[in-house]
Amino acid sequence: MSILDDTKSGIMVDAHIKSVFPVDFLWGAGTASYQIEGATHEDGRGLSIWDQFAATPGKVYQGENGDVAADHYHHMPEDVELIASLGLNAYRFSIAWPRILPEGTGTVNERGLDFYGRLVDRLQERGITPFVTLYHWDLPLALHEKNGWLNRETAFAFADYAEVVARRLGDRVDWWTTLNEPWCSSYLGYGTGEHAPGIRNMQSAYSAAHHLLLAHGLAIPRLRANTSQRAQLGITLNLTPVYAANDHPETLRAVEKADMMSNRWFLDPIFRGKYPEGLFAEAGVVGPSIEDGDLAIIATPIDLLGVNNYSRSLIRPHVAEKGDSDIVNRSYEHVAAVENSEYTEMGWEVYPQALADVLVRVHRDYAPRAIAVTENGAAFADEWDGSDHVSDPQRVSYIAEHLQSLKKARMQGVPVLGYFVWSLLDNFEWAQGYSKRFGIIYVDYPTQRRIFKDSGSWYAAFIAAQPRQRVS
């Protein structure tokens, strides 16, 4: 049996893996507008909730913000060349709503659309498939001023925005997801306040989530009507499989609850047209106001589920301690330090089997027509020594092991048709600012120089060894 032996990293990959992935499998990397673009005041872009949140003292690590980020807005041609030189055949990026509609609704800013039009042109010239996310958290500030995702009207505004973008790009872009990780937008944005807009109220989190889901469902037919017959439309969820730390019945019950609160909260309405029973009671909220027909809209059939997965949750029942009266669910807790496990800089356990497990489970329980792994990757404390590459052996292992896990899922019949490493470039990691580096390409922020990490080179070699369709 032949193996791909990357001597630099010492990681071996079973050449068998080749036959498991079809020739048109999407091998990509991902980014998001606010995390890489910078140019927040250029070409008519309106402000977003992240501009305001980052400008609020104490919200983001060291007061950092996305004003410059990886300056992708100005480095776009160079970045597309980097994608091409890695041999990726797909690129996932998000569109900044406030570049397209600076006020959230109303007047369209053509210069914003032009930027993404040029990006798509360049990608296609290089044979790279564009994979678009319409909302990766940068809500126009003007809509926040009208209550943002707490306002039902925002869902309708999103559907209008989706149509504007699809009218411009729909003839050339075949892969579309409406929202990225609505769990984060609602729970972290409106529940715990760790993300923009920084609201701390669990009731609000569930209302925001309902309007986000409604926005998704309303946007699907608008996208359908303005894209080609080939178009694959869907949504990306962050899904984390939950495991029991022991086999006590109360632990098993806690696992069910944790799964409901993190995964089923979004999966059930999208694929079954209802919220899980007991969801709102478990959260200690009365639930959002749901109008007739909302759940049918939310469950509008989609072609594709995007799955973001980084780790697992290991759960045990919570033992009450003094001072436990905060807003966070306290009937169970996550085991924070698993003996002998490796952790990333985010404090996330490296647990590659989670990826296979979550894919198999979603396929079994919800049977989406197709799945793409839209994010998977790791932050480590990378350092550049001035040479032509950055050594990141832990990320090489992380990606290689997760690809093995992905292979397992495919071998079990899960219809996964793409895999996107998070991230193409080091970038603004939300509340953690620039302190966490997820890129397979290092960004030296003072000079904006890009330097390949070994993980990028390893991924490029891995992809080069896959059966590929010839790009003419």
Residue from the set 138, 181, 349, 454 that interacts with ligand FCB by CB under 6 A? 181
Rounded least distance, CB 430 to ligand FCB, Å: 6
Rounded least distance, CB 181 to ligand FCB, Å: 5
- The nearer residue to ligand FCB, 170 or 197, going by C-beta atoms, is 197
Q: How far apart are CA 173 and CA 132, in angstroms?
A: 8
Using the rule CB under 6 A, give the single segment among 67-75, 180-188, 276-284, 285-293 that binds ligand FCB. 180-188
Q: Are 88 and 425 in contact (CB under 8 A)?
A: no
Using the rule CB under 6 A, give the single segment among 150-158, 176-184, 329-337, 385-393 that binds ligand FCB. 176-184
Q: Are 310 and 320 in contact (CB under 8 A)?
A: no
Rounded least distance, CB 152 to ligand FCB, Å: 25
Build a one-symbol-per-residue string for 406-445: x at contacts with ligand FCB by CB under 6 A, - elsewhere.
----------------x------xx-------x-------
DSSP per residue over 30-50, as a string?
A: E--HHHH---TTSTTPPPBHH
- The nearer residue to ligand FCB, 9 or 240, going by C-beta atoms, is 240
Rounded least distance, CB 42 to ligand FCB, Å: 22
Give the total of residues touching ligand FCB (CB under 6 A): 12
Q: For residue 155, which of 102, 226, 220 has the smallest C-alpha distance?
A: 220
Using the rule CB under 6 A, give the single segment among 57-65, 71-79, 151-159, 177-185 that binds ligand FCB. 177-185
Angle at 72 between CA 66 and CA 76, to 5 degrees: 165
| Cis check: omega of the bond before 98, within 30 degrees of 0 | no
Rounded least distance, CB 308 to ligand FCB, Å: 6
Rounded least distance, CB 253 to ligand FCB, Å: 27
Residue from the set 13, 26, 29, 32 that interacts with ligand FCB by CB under 6 A? 32
Rounded least distance, CB 98 to ligand FCB, Å: 17
**Which residue is listed with tokens 């893996």?**
17
Verify whether residue 81 is a known catalytic residue. no
Interactions with ligand FCB, residue window 267-326 (CB under 6 A):
308
Q: How far apart are CA 14 and CA 4, in angstroms?
A: 7
- The nearer residue to ligand FCB, 149 or 430, going by C-beta atoms, is 430
| Distance, C-alpha 32 to centroid of its chain | 8
Rounded least distance, CB 422 to ligand FCB, Å: 5
Q: Are 57 and 63 in contact (CB under 8 A)?
A: yes
DSSP 15: T
Using the rule CB under 6 A, give the single segment among 46-54, 178-186, 205-213, 392-400 that binds ligand FCB. 178-186
Build a one-symbol-per-residue string for 102-141: x at contacts with ligand FCB by CB under 6 A, - elsewhere.
----------------------------------------
Output the six-digit token pair for 188.
């972290």
180 binds ligand FCB (CB under 6 A): yes
Rounded least distance, CB 175 to ligand FCB, Å: 17
DSSP 431: G
Q: Identify the active-site residue in 37, 64, 333, 375.
A: 375
- The nearer residue to ligand FCB, 53 or 438, going by C-beta atoms, is 438
Half-sphere exposure in the Cβ direction for 472 (13 Å, CA): 0
Q: Identify the active-site residue in 181, 333, 349, 429.
A: 181
Q: How far apart are CA 419 and CA 422, in angstroms?
A: 10
Verify whether residue 342 is a known catalytic residue. no
Build a one-symbol-per-residue string for 362-381: x at contacts with ligand FCB by CB under 6 A, - elsewhere.
-------------x------
- The nearer residue to ligand FCB, 310 or 452, going by C-beta atoms, is 310
- The nearer residue to ligand FCB, 27 or 438, going by C-beta atoms, is 438
Q: Give, to the nearest 10 degrees, the angle between helix 72-85 and helix 110-125.
A: 20
Q: Can you name the residues that pair with 6 across neighbouring β-strands?
A: 11
Query: How distant, in Å, are the alpha carbons of 6, 345, 418, 443 from that of 382?
Result: 20, 10, 27, 10
- The nearer residue to ligand FCB, 188 or 223, going by C-beta atoms, is 188
Q: Are 97 and 185 in contact (CB under 8 A)?
A: no
Interactions with ligand FCB, residue window 35-64 (CB under 6 A):
35
DSSP per residue over 50-84, as a string?
A: HHHHHTSTTSSGGG--SSSTT-HHHHHHHHHHHHH
- The nearer residue to ligand FCB, 129 or 374, going by C-beta atoms, is 374
Q: Are 361 and 241 in contact (CB under 8 A)?
A: yes
Interactions with ligand FCB, residue window 216-245 (CB under 6 A):
238
Q: How far apart are CA 305 and CA 290, in angstroms?
A: 24
- Grouping H, G, I as helix, E, B as strand and the rest as coil, residue 312 is coil
Q: Name the CA dihedral angle for 259, 262, 264, 265, rounded to a multiple of 10 degrees.
A: 140
Q: How far apart are CA 273 and CA 264, in angstroms?
A: 12
Footprint on this chain of ligand FCB (rule: CB under 6 A): 32, 35, 180-181, 184, 238, 308, 375, 422, 429-430, 438
Catalytic residue numbers?
181, 375
